[in-house]
Amino acid sequence: MRSIDYFDRGHDRDPARACIVDTVTGRRYSFAEVKALSERIAAAMQRDGFANQDLLALYGPNGGSILIVLLAMWRANGVWIPVNTRNAIDANAAYINYVRCRWMFYHSSLADEVEQLRALCPTLTKFVCLDQPTGGDPSLDQFIEGVSEDDFVEPEIDAFGNMSELVGIFPTGGTTGPSKGANVTNLGWGTMIETAADAMGGRTDAPVALVSAPITHAAGPIALSTLNLGATQVILPGFNAEKVLRAIAEHRVTHMYLPPTALYQLLASPEIGDHDYSSLRIFILVGSPCSPEKLRQAVETFGPCMCQSYGQVECPMIVAWFPPEDVARFASEAPEKLAACGKPTRSIRVALLDDDGNRVAPGESGEICARGVLVSHSYFEKPEETAEIRKFGWHHTGDVGRFDEQGYLYIVDRKKDMVVTGGFNVFTTEVEAAVTELPQVRECAVIGVPHEKWGEAVHAIVVAEGIDDSAIIAHTKARLGGVKAPKTVAFVDSIPRTAAGKMDKKKLRKEYWGDSARLVN
């Protein structure tokens, strides 16, 4: 099925049920209202030249209109181009130019950034401001004037739900150049949603999902998965620990998603003991491994709802699943097992391979490799990179894992030179390239180090003269954005090398990770 078919399936469960509660504007929409509005927006897009499989970017903070436009785009059979508002302008412009995106819907609070993107991205020619007329661009209300849902023309659909067509080109995070774009088809996307529904569904007749992570990033797919279940989406403008805790109680939230770093902030909140969390049925942790002790505390605090999901852009969301009943049981019986990320789901095969493509012996660690329709089709216009990551007939995740005797999967390290901080992927070569642009810097090695709040923090080890850490951080932040900029800098006389002459990052990391059983957080 197509992406929009999953929303429509949720709509058909009860069109009168509340679909969106927008805490930003105070507006509430039923499923019937969201469907009609998405049809009006799709009709207006068609009127203004939106073509089948056209590309569209959303740029703004969380709000009901962002989610409705996302649904309208899929209804018009468009392709989603996620754009992270926390990235530097140059990084976002590079990705938009790489995929040649034409359309952008944005919020007026980001109008200055949009003007910069307009100047940097010649392919961007269609702009709509979600909340108000801005700089000659119409507001969403103005954009849909004169059209109704009856004007919408259903794209041509085959009996297989156009399974080979794209739903999105999702950025992987980048290396020394623009991010690679993962081509995600209806087949892979639908497999993700069906697998997630199998894992999350059937636990309540009145699901309510809390959305506080960015809809323009990972929360969009989660929202579609719960809309498929007929869940009301309670949308917060962003993550704030106290507001999330209050919203769970106020709206009787049953389903929610956060990265582990946000969970840690909830547990540290002074309000953690002040609210009722008994409505929760599914509290998914995804984006990076979770501290076993923090997960145990979460079970004590939020009840038997905690669960984990492992995936990546190229294998979205649910390669492995650690269901709440298992997490709750291990929290009391075998807390050491909370370091796992679950077992492979029914939609994919997982193997641990060595560098030659052979399966490792039981109990040993190897690269986590996947095979099945959940795996994204390819990288956009990058056949060599696609072939490289698909060696030996498997998709290579770049994560190193091991299985225990019961089949639970543990992530123990990363084969890719990457840091996951606050749920965002940061490829270290990109940061190193930005730091070494500075003439005072001779060498730079970037690694991830443990961090109490963000799980991992970007740390730069630098050989330089005549520059301090604040200048390095400021330069990198201006080039790449706050997420990718180093949080700390260490100055050294030389960077250790391997026998092959490469930077010895294992040696550098050992100083910070010590003898930890896993080198990821």
CATH code of residue 173 = 3.40.50.980
pLDDT band for position 216 (cuts 50, 70, 90)? confident
101, 52: one domain: yes
Tokens at residue 370, please?
């996947």
Tokens at residue 75, please?
């209804």
| Residue whose pair of structure tokens reads 């630098």 in the numeric block | 462
Tokens at residue 112, please?
């200055």
255-264, 292-301, 426-435: segment of lowest average pLDDT: 426-435
127-131, 336-340, 487-491: segment of lowest average pLDDT: 336-340
User: According to the model, what pLDDT value does residue 499 have?
Assistant: 56
Residue 509 to residue 450: CA distance in whole angstroms? 10
The residue among 178 and 114 whose pLDDT is bigger is: 114
User: According to the model, what pLDDT value does residue 301 have?
Assistant: 97
378, 471: one domain: no
Q: Label the pairing between strands 424-427 and 378-379.
A: unpaired
pLDDT band for position 503 (cuts 50, 70, 90)? confident
Q: How far is CA 144 from the centre of its chain?
A: 30
User: According to the model, what pLDDT value does residue 176 have?
Assistant: 35
491, 387: one domain: no
Residue 61 to residue 238: CA distance in whole angstroms? 7
The yes-or-no verdict on residue 516 having pLDDT over 80 is no
412 φ, ψ to 5°?
-115, -20
The yes-or-no verdict on residue 50 having pLDDT over 80 is yes
User: According to the model, what pLDDT value does residue 502 have?
Assistant: 65
The yes-or-no verdict on residue 469 having pLDDT over 70 is yes
The residue among 202 and 8 whose pLDDT is bigger is: 8
pTM: 0.84
Please write the tens of the pLDDT for every residue from 72-122. 999 999 999 998 888 889 889 999 999 999 999 999 999 999 999 999 999
434, 386: one domain: no
Q: Is residue 12 in some structural domain?
A: yes
What residues are paired with 458 via a beta bridge? 448
428, 381: one domain: no
399, 365: one domain: yes
The yes-or-no verdict on residue 178 having pLDDT over 80 is no
**For residues 425 and 418, is the Cβ–Cβ distance under 8 A?**
yes
User: According to the model, what pLDDT value does residue 52 have?
Assistant: 94
User: Looking at 374, 389, 414, which one is the last position of a domain?
Assistant: 414
355, 460: one domain: no
Q: Is residue 287 in some structural domain?
A: no
Please write the tens of the pLDDT for every residue from 118-156. 999 999 999 999 999 999 999 999 999 999 999 999 998
50, 86: one domain: yes
Q: How far is CA 158 from the centre of its chain?
A: 30
Q: What does the pLDDT average to over 199-228?
A: 88
Q: Is residue 367 in some structural domain?
A: yes
Using DSSP's 3-state secondary structure scheme, residue 331 falls into helix
Q: What does the pLDDT average to over 20-37?
A: 96
The yes-or-no verdict on residue 220 having pLDDT over 90 is no
User: Looking at 186, 214, 245, which one is the last position of a domain?
Assistant: 186
Please write the tens of the pLDDT for every residue from 416-451. 777 888 878 787 877 887 888 888 987 888 888 988
User: According to the model, what pLDDT value does residue 518 have?
Assistant: 65
139 φ, ψ to 5°?
-75, 170
449, 508: one domain: yes
Q: Is residue 314 in some structural domain?
A: no
User: According to the model, what pLDDT value does residue 243 have?
Assistant: 97
User: According to the model, what pLDDT value does residue 309 have?
Assistant: 93
pLDDT band for position 174 (cuts 50, 70, 90)? very low
The yes-or-no verdict on residue 283 having pLDDT over 80 is yes
Q: What does the pLDDT average to over 350-365?
A: 92
Give the count of domains, the chain.
Answer: 3
Q: What does the pLDDT average to over 206-214?
A: 93
435, 397: one domain: no
The yes-or-no verdict on residue 175 having pLDDT over 50 is no
384, 503: one domain: no
Exposure letters 178-213 (e unless 16+ CB within 10 A, then b):
bbbbbbbbbbbbbbbbbbbbebbbeebeebbbbbbb
The yes-or-no verdict on residue 379 having pLDDT over 70 is yes
Mean pLDDT of the chain: 90
Q: Is residue 351 in some structural domain?
A: yes
Q: What is the CATH number of the domain that holds 432?
A: 3.30.300.30
**For residues 161 and 149, is the Cβ–Cβ distance under 8 A?**
no
97, 80: one domain: yes
Q: Is residue 141 in some structural domain?
A: yes
Q: What is the CATH number of the domain that holds 381?
A: 2.30.38.10
User: Looking at 186, 206, 224, which one is the last position of a domain?
Assistant: 186
206-215, 496-505, 510-519: segment of lowest average pLDDT: 496-505
Q: Is residue 97 in some structural domain?
A: yes
Tokens at residue 166, please?
């794209």
Q: Is residue 127 in some structural domain?
A: yes
The residue among 222 and 407 whose pLDDT is bigger is: 407
| Residues of the domain holding 63 | 3-17+31-186
**For residues 462 and 435, is the Cβ–Cβ distance under 8 A?**
yes
pLDDT band for position 177 (cuts 50, 70, 90)? very low
User: According to the model, what pLDDT value does residue 411 have?
Assistant: 86
